[in-house]
Every structure is written in structure tokens, then in C-alpha cells.
Amino acid sequence: MTEIEHLLNQLLDPDLFREPNHDFHARLRQYYDQDYIDLIYTWTRICQKLPPGQRDIYCQNSARCSLFDRIPENLDGRDPARICIALEVCGLARMTRYTDLVLRFSWLPIYAPFACHALLRMNFEEGMACVLRAYGHQLISNAELLTLCAEFSKHELTAWATQTGHWPLPEVLGKYWISA
């Protein structure tokens, strides 16, 4: 386990802020100031592996540590890696306040898979509409569509499609469900 991973795993402690932890905050601030992209990239990899309850604590403690303060700056930048990581953070932490910023990336082929995934995690119903639009415009591939939808059950997807009039879903999803 790297030092960054060890540090970020402490964000899972629900009592992190009950007593002063100056060493933790100083080390986190050091990485934040000197190696932010590695810090936030590692944050995403840890967050993806967490069950929902732990993910909520992790995100809340991360926000309390101001870990997400550079997300708008990264979304407005020109570095594709920083933009993709920022999009992933927006989705994992369900940062709905950045929906408009994330939505604009769903029209750009290089960022569409990341933006659509973020939007799905932020708001399933609006995100699915964006995914289908991006898929229809060939901004995401069959494989990316399957990956995005894999987090949700067949029942959730078909119920959404039926209720919203987005029926039928793309044929590739039907083929996937038959073979699964």
C-alpha cells in the first residue's frame, strides 16, 4: 500500500474529525499542494471499490478535507487526464452541483464515456438519457455502453426505459442480457 493509499484510507474513519489529527491533515495538504492529480486519482480507485455505505463516509470526509476544491479548475483545464479524473470524481461523489460542467463533456468523443458515467452516477434518470443520446451520436461504443449499464440491473434499465418512453433500449443491451 502506498503512502497516499494509507492516507486516503483514513477517510473511511467516521471519527476522523472528532479529535484533532494535525499529522493527517498536514500530510493530506502536502499531497494536495504538490501531487494533487496522483492524490485524486488514487482517491477514485479506492472509492470505486467501496460499498455504498462506506463510499458515503469516504466522500463526506473527503469533502470536509476540501479534497474536491480543484475539481472545477480541472474541468476547465486543457489536460485530458485531469479532466477525465475530475469527471470520475464528480460521478463517484455524486457532485450534482457540477452537472452542467459535466454535461458539456458528454458531447466530446474523448470525454463522453467519462461524462456519461459521471452523469449516470449523479442522477440515473438524466444520466441514462445522456447515455442514449451519446450512443445514438456514436460518441460511446457498444463496449462503453455495456460498461456504463453494467452497474444497473436489467430491471432498473427496462423500468426506466418503459416509464420514460425510451423504449426499446439499444439492441446491444438485449444481446448482452440474453447471453448473461
pLDDT tens digits along 116-163: 999 999 998 889 889 989 998 999 998 998 888 888 888 888 788 788
Give the per-residue pLDDT at 125: 86
Q: How far apart are the first and last CA of the chain?
A: 35
Give the per-residue pLDDT at 21: 82
In whole angstroms, what separates CA 173 from the centre of its chain?
Answer: 22
H helices of the chain, where? 3-9, 22-34, 36-49, 52-64, 71-75, 80-92, 99-105, 112-122, 124-136, 142-149, 154-164, 171-179
Give the per-residue pLDDT at 180: 47
Q: Model's pTM, two decimal places? A: 0.89
> Which residue, among 167, 131, 129, has the nearest Cα to 148 in the 3D structure?
131
Give the per-residue pLDDT at 175: 67
Work out the angle at residue 160's Cα, subtended by the Cα atoms of residues 84 and 141, and round it to the nearest 5 degrees.
Answer: 40
Contacts of 154 (CB under 8 A, 6+ apart): 177
Q: Which residues of the chain have pLDDT under 70?
A: 166-168, 175-180
Measured between alpha carbons, how far is 166 from 139 in angstroms, rounded to an integer?
18
Measured between alpha carbons, how far is 48 from 104 in angstroms, rounded to an integer?
24
Q: Position 141: which residue type?
A: S
Measured over the CA atoms of residue 68, residue 72, residue 74 and residue 80, the dihedral's sign is positive
